Amino acid sequence: MTDLSATAGVTDRSSGTGQSGDRGATDHIQEFLRQQDPETPCLVMDLASVRHRYRQLRAALPDIRICYAVKANPTPEVVRELVALGSSFDVASPGEIDLCLAEGAAPESISYGNTIKKGRDIARAYRQGVRLFATDSPADLANIAENAPGSRVFCRILVDNKGSRTPFGRKFGCQPRTAVALLLRARELGLDAYGVSFHIGSQQLDPGAWEHGIRAAREVFDACAQHGLQLQMVNLGGGLPAHYTQPVPPLADYVRAIETSLDRHFGEQRPQLLIEPGRFIVGDAGVLRSEVVLVADACDGENRWVYLDIGRYGGLAETEGEAITYRLRTSRDGDPCGPVVLAGPTCDGDDVLYQRTKYALPLTLRSGDWVDLLSAGAYTASYSSVGFNGFPPMRTYCIDGDQE
């Protein structure tokens, strides 16, 4: 159980790099919230922080193609900024393809990374100029061959997600031996059997986790080579973290671990490389402001219940299982604190954010006060439901801290 009794205010428990830029984003957002006092709940994104994070990653991994995972935050202004910086994009649907193209992305910068897609959606993407597709099953591969002839395909393999706060389970990816068979079949179908991808889980706290995928990718490369098929690319997936309540290793540790593993398994035969960051780029760029709807004593007599005007269905889906624990700031920071259970506003018994994780908030907290969730730029707006219980989807505002 995580003890957050000291985190009523802005407490930075992370050890990651880039913190000065992140604190600057928080300061700029706080000023916007003070001046504009927008209706809550809302998410405020600092585009300067998005640029800072992209450039930081670009400098750390200069030879790796960065494909921003659009699902992390599909706000058009965010996509537009990344287009201007030269980013590529990992997309999962026709809607995300349309968004990227509308904001100026070139079709060749788009990787259709979802292994679950309709044939007609593949055909639509192909007509729009997309030529890079992920797969992990014979049925999907057949759909690609039929609807996107001659395209590049890469096969997602299943790897260990240990160390991830939000692992993928077994929904995506196949065993390496299956990947070999699929890539050989792709060649027979006239597709360009391009390479291999893996994902070691989102919010990965173990820099060494990429070793599992890189080692498995090398096995697939070698097995395909025995059949005369020379693969070209390894997609390293996502997993680079944002800063919540748990300590996060610095980016340099991740880069060192990835580079060491690539040297170990590929040496001078290093393939073309892709990486799909989402949370790392946008997570720390956002602050989610909520309002306290109600504070009530619990029937057990132990903890107060603090009900916010946002919950699991309004954008905080990642609180399921209390996997992601946000740092909090309130309008009454500095007052004496006590333990609380945090919950959302809907008439649903599962709309409880934190009751096992120990949070302490000011004893003076009342209806109408605000509570900010820090580093909330990833997987909040994109998870905001449309109209559950009649609550409207959360609004996103974008500011530019470099222009304040």
Catalytic residues: 347
- Residue (of 331, 396, 378, 370) closest to 22 by Cα position: 378
Q: CB–CB of 173/156 below 8 Å?
A: yes
User: Contact 201/174 with Cβ under 8 angstroms?
Assistant: no
133-to-53, 79, 218, 248 alpha-carbon distances in Å = 26, 20, 20, 32
Find out whether 329 and 374 touch, Cβ atoms under 8 Å.
Answer: yes
User: How far is Cα of residue 192 from the mean position of the Cα atoms in its chain?
Assistant: 28
User: Contact at 8 Å (CB) between 168 and 122?
Assistant: no
CA angle 164, 112, 135 (to 5 degrees): 75
The answer for residues whose C-beta is within 8 angstroms of residue 300's C-beta and 6 or more apart is none
Ramachandran area for residue 216 (φ above 0: left; ψ -120 to 50: alpha; else beta): alpha
Helix-helix angle 210-225:251-266, to 10 degrees: 20
Beta strand extents in 246-336 (DSSP E only) = 272-275, 286-297, 304-308, 328-330
Task: Find where tokens 């302490």 sit.
Answer: 360
